[in-house]
Structure 1
Amino acid sequence: MHFYHCCRSLLLAALLCSWAAAADTPPNVVLILSDDQAWSDYGFMEHETIQTPCLDKLAKQSLTFTRGYVPDSLCRPSLATIISGLYPHQHGIVGNDPPKSAKGDPSSPYQTGTRNDFLQHIDKMPSLAKILKQEKGYVSHQSGKWWEGNFSRGGFDQGMTHGDIKRGGRHGDAGLTIGRKGMAPVFDFMKEAKGDGKPFFVWYAPFMPHTPHTPPERLLAKYRDKTDSLPMAKYWAMCEWFDETCGQLMDFLDEENLADNTIVIYVCDNGWINQKDASKYAPRSKRSQYEGGVRTPIMVRWPGHAKPQINSTELASSIDIVPTVLTAVGIEKQPEMEGIDLLDAKAVAARDAIYGEIFEHDVRAMDDPVKSLRFRWVIEGPWKLIVPYAPNEPNEKIELFNVVNDPTEETNLAAEQPELVKRLQAKLDAWWSVR
């Protein structure tokens, strides 16, 4: 009898230790980033033609914000915000390329520098990969789009991007094959981390549906007869091809029994409206201050923690991604991070506005964001105010749109609502004053 009680006690102790260890295991984090895709170009966003069954499923399993945004509609600044939780004017990466030569008004000269010089910013700013490793012992992997030199510079333990300019390094190099040429590097990393008993962070940022639009013929054939525009059919097929890779990633998490303890977050770096006659972006999309450039669905899936809901009213921003992850794993966000925890319903409901800023493609000054500024914008409820930075955009005017009723921003209501313009501009200036 004594032996029986001892065995039972030992068994219970072992089970309690096992349960405690499981409870103490931080969740894995998988970040999925689309590249150049309009906010409307998903099945769950009711696109009439594009089919995205895998992302539709993810949206239903997630806390999904259909009114999500990125502060800037250009990939490098946007990605830097996603990894740091800071606005572009805070982290300093405000364009894709440093100035190639001195030019411009002598009173406001361009500050020249090299691509390697511009990497100073990634060394100075916070990085989700670095924080997770330092605070909780995470291992991390980078694949796909990555502008900031070698993957290790962002704090990743493993990755695909070498970042060597002499070998063609710019915005992802070897990493840009992920998705288009299989998923093995990401899957191998997760298997390794699982085997080592380590929580992991995955940066999955495939060069999709980004140009070159080279979808498999089986997908192109599916869309070819749905439009008289071959460039449009190619883009639509690319959206579904990207969706398939997301499905493969989700299936892998299920097969490896990782899904229940993994936070999956989805966002797109910037919008894209394909031209009908060429595989190029149209006005009011990428690089613009309009919804076609800055709006994106944002999803957070965490079984047992994030209640699935498609939220079409509250605002979310990519500056919220880092604070959301840090809160989930028990780390305080850094004081300069202005984002909120998207899983905190009270914080989401209490938010009164989100903000953004649009800059030049080529950086005008290596360490002065204002030199490259074109527009600032603020959204409060249905209202979106766009304010041009006069020194760089002297011919542009202030615009006010009701983006709930007018999502394509056809009717400028600024002249009809001068008091609202004044109030929103004051809010914008309180956020970041550039006068």
Structure 2
Amino acid sequence: MKIIYKGICCLFFLFLTIHVNAQEKPNIILIISDDAGYADFGFQGSKEFKTPNLDKLATQGIVFEQAYVTAAVCGPSRAGILTGRYQQRFGFEENNVPGIMENYNLPDDEMGLPLEEKTMANYMKSLGYRTALFGKWHQGNADQFHPTKRGFETFYGFRGGARSYYEYNEAHPTKKTEDFLEKGFKNYGETDEYLTYTFANAANDFIKKDDEAPFFIILSFNAVHSPMDALKEDLGQFPKLSGKRKKLAAMTLAMDKACGSVFETIESLGIEENTLIVFTNDNGGPTDSNASSNKPLSGTKANHLEGGIRVPFIMKYKGVLSEGERYTYPISTLDLLPTFYQLGKGDLNQLSNIDGVNLIPYLKGELNERPHQSLFWKKENRAAIRDGDWKLLRFPDRPAELYYLPNDQSEQNNLASKYPQKVQKLYKRLFEWELTLARPRWQLKRKYEGKAMERMDKYRLMEKEN
């Protein structure tokens, strides 16, 4: 009897230990909007758009004033987020858009996140997390790149980079398989619900599952990427706006309400103090195609001006991180993976070749220096480096530009001719970084190569006229 009693006690304490350890690991939710403008949120200063739920999140957490993505377009940016590595290190330099690529003997169906790269989901799954992705994938359309084969146990979304917010049917068809909604692997089926709400509701259902293991969710909205599909009731909330701007405001409001439903679910379950929430965007807003605003930043999606690469960013962890504060040093979405991994009780020494850093010591005041002295961007011959508060932009067809961002975040005062030695130094740093990169796996066709440059020139002309 004593042996049986001891055995029961051991099992009880083992169960208790496992339960306590599971509770020590926070649930993690990463929410990514798509193509949102830097200034198109209340917490970013917008007086036109309505984002009450995200504004509330901002008061409950930390707003990052200088958060950067690793690319000014969707696919490469998300590759950097998922791996914690500069995506150029494994050749994911261009957007993976089938049909418009000219590549190195690489067919369209092989354009995706390389299989040898470990993802955020792989890492979190190894720590005992339940992993899920809801929404946009855009890391390869072929089966070998599928989210369920890249560490996500649960997937409900679409493989491509953009799609309609309404269901595809005979009256509203599509020929692209990557556009279709998919639950798990190849279980295709559309919904009659507005897509932004579909993804949030799927996340809510996952959160509500009775499971001892902590969860890791990426809620990857295609909102507010084109097409400009807005709900009638949301359009009515913006009588003073018109055209694309009005539609964008309505789409942003719907996304905010979807985020609010997730926040409400977390609060209702009583897990707010054990859940980390991050909200950010994948690149700057396309000011031409969807009328977004990146003010006061200069630039737009697809170029390396601040408006193309600096994004809204909120982090909330109730009881651990400060509330209602702003973090002023530059950070990168590369930092998400090591931050999540450390919070999940992972050993950071086991992360190899990671370019991001764990942000928690910086946010708690344990480390007072900058998380990054230098940050880099590159696409074809265009590149940029931020070193401290200086930023150099390199172009293939014009002299480099140099800016001192604390006094000129709109990048209007080019100091290259005034500080030639600084230009030379940053050029050298940029070149040294480029020597560590892999060869691009695919390239845009020639007719698309100048698109970002044309956007930049158009934007500069508009600024001069205004």
TM-score scaled to structure 2, two decimals?
0.76
Q: Distance in 1 between matches of 2:181 and 2:93?
A: 21
Identify which range, 289-298 or 406-415, moves more after superposition.
406-415
Q: Name the counterpart of 1:375.
A: 382
Q: Does 1:418 align with 2:420?
A: yes
Q: Percent identity?
A: 24
Q: Name the counterpart of 2:86.
A: 87
Q: Name the counterpart of 1:288.
A: 303
Q: Which amino acid aligns with 1:335?
A: S
Q: Distance in 1 between matches of 2:115 and 2:30?
A: 21
Q: Which amino acid aligns with 1:66?
A: E
Structure 2 contact 286–301 (Cα < 8 Å) conserved: yes
Q: Name the counterpart of 1:255.
A: 268
Identify which range, 280-289 or 199-208, moves more after superposition.
280-289
Equivalent position SS for 1:344: helix
User: CA separation of 1:311/1:433 partners in 2, compared to 1, >3 Å: closer, same or farther?
Assistant: farther
Q: Name the counterpart of 1:428.
A: 430
Superimposed CA distance per residue, residues 186-222 of structure 1 (whole angstroms, 9 cap, x where no aligned partner): 1222222xx1212111110111111122222232222
Q: Distance in 2 between matches of 1:385 and 1:139?
A: 42
User: CA separation of 1:19/1:155 partners in 2, compared to 1, >3 Å: closer, same or farther?
Assistant: closer
Superimposed CA distance per residue, residues 335-366 of structure 1 (whole angstroms, 9 cap, x where no aligned partner): 2102111111255624353423242xxxxxxx
Q: Name the counterpart of 1:125.
A: 117
Note the 1:95-106 alignment, pairs <5 A: 95-97=94-96, 100=99
Equivalent position SS for 2:20: helix
Q: Does 1:387 align with 2:378?
A: no
Structure 1 contact 140–202 (Cα < 8 Å) conserved: yes
Q: Does 1:142 align with 2:133?
A: yes
Q: Does 1:279 align with 2:297?
A: no
Q: Name the counterpart of 1:209.
A: 224
User: CA separation of 1:312/1:139 partners in 2, compared to 1, >3 Å: closer, same or farther?
Assistant: closer
Superimposed CA distance per residue, residues 352-383 of structure 1 (whole angstroms, 9 cap, x where no aligned partner): 53423242xxxxxxxxxxxxx23222223432
Q: Name the counterpart of 1:3.
A: none
Q: Distance in 1 between matches of 2:177 and 2:372?
A: 41
User: CA separation of 1:99/1:52 partners in 2, compared to 1, >3 Å: closer, same or farther?
Assistant: closer
Runs of 5+ unmatched residues, structure 1: 1-13, 104-109, 360-372
Q: Name the counterpart of 1:112.
A: 105
Q: Distance in 2 between matches of 1:137 and 1:20?
A: 11
Q: Name the counterpart of 2:30.
A: 31
Q: Distance in 2 between matches of 1:410 and 1:377?
A: 16
Q: Name the counterpart of 2:150.
A: 154
Report the alpha carbon displacement of residue 411 of structure 1 after superposing the two structures with TM. 2.1
Q: Name the counterpart of 2:358.
A: 341
Q: Distance in 1 between matches of 2:331 and 2:384?
A: 15
Q: Name the counterpart of 1:6.
A: none
**Correspondent of 2:202 among 175, 182, 185:** 185
Q: Which amino acid aligns with 1:111?
A: Y
User: CA separation of 1:396/1:309 partners in 2, compared to 1, >3 Å: closer, same or farther?
Assistant: farther
Report the alpha carbon displacement of residue 82 of structure 1 after superposing the two structures with TM. 0.9
TM-score scaled to structure 1, two decimals?
0.81
Structure 1 contact 355–428 (Cα < 8 Å) conserved: no
Report the alpha carbon displacement of residue 115 of structure 1 after superposing the two structures with TM. 2.8
Structure 1 contact 315–354 (Cα < 8 Å) conserved: no
Superimposed CA distance per residue, residues 30-56 of structure 1 (whole angstroms, 9 cap, x where no aligned partner): 010010012222111112322211111
* Aligned-CA RMSD value: 3.2
User: CA separation of 1:200/1:409 partners in 2, compared to 1, >3 Å: closer, same or farther?
Assistant: same
Structure 1 contact 270–294 (Cα < 8 Å) conserved: yes
Equivalent position SS for 1:304: coil
Equivalent position SS for 2:308: helix
Q: Distance in 1 between matches of 2:56 and 2:100?
A: 48
Q: Does 1:314 align with 2:329?
A: yes
User: CA separation of 1:265/1:417 partners in 2, compared to 1, >3 Å: closer, same or farther?
Assistant: same
Q: Which amino acid aligns with 1:318?
A: T
Identify which range, 162-171 or 377-386, moves more after superposition.
162-171
User: CA separation of 1:434/1:374 partners in 2, compared to 1, >3 Å: closer, same or farther?
Assistant: farther
Report the alpha carbon displacement of residue 287 of structure 1 after superposing the two structures with TM. 0.8
Identify which range, 420-429 or 52-61, moves more after superposition.
420-429
Q: Give the total of aligned pairs.
A: 393
Equivalent position SS for 1:160: strand
Superimposed CA distance per residue, residues 306-352 of structure 1 (whole angstroms, 9 cap, x where no aligned partner): 22353352111000000111111121341210211111125562435
User: CA separation of 1:85/1:167 partners in 2, compared to 1, >3 Å: closer, same or farther?
Assistant: farther
Q: Which amino acid aligns with 2:269?
A: E
Report the alpha carbon displacement of residue 68 of structure 1 after superposing the two structures with TM. 0.3
Structure 1 contact 102–112 (Cα < 8 Å) conserved: no
Structure 2 contact 137–160 (Cα < 8 Å) conserved: no
Q: Distance in 2 between matches of 1:100 and 1:37?
A: 25
Q: Name the counterpart of 2:281.
A: 268
Report the alpha carbon displacement of residue 23 of structure 1 after superposing the two structures with TM. 5.1
User: CA separation of 1:232/1:350 partners in 2, compared to 1, >3 Å: closer, same or farther?
Assistant: closer
Note the 1:389-408 alignment, pairs <5 A: 393=396, 395-408=397-410
Structure 2 contact 62–327 (Cα < 8 Å) conserved: no
Structure 1 contact 38–293 (Cα < 8 Å) conserved: no
Equivalent position SS for 2:234: helix
Equivalent position SS for 1:416: coil
Structure 1 contact 224–230 (Cα < 8 Å) conserved: no
Equivalent position SS for 2:222: coil
Q: Which amino acid aligns with 2:416?
A: A
Report the alpha carbon displacement of residue 254 of structure 1 after superposing the two structures with TM. 0.7
Structure 1 contact 54–246 (Cα < 8 Å) conserved: yes
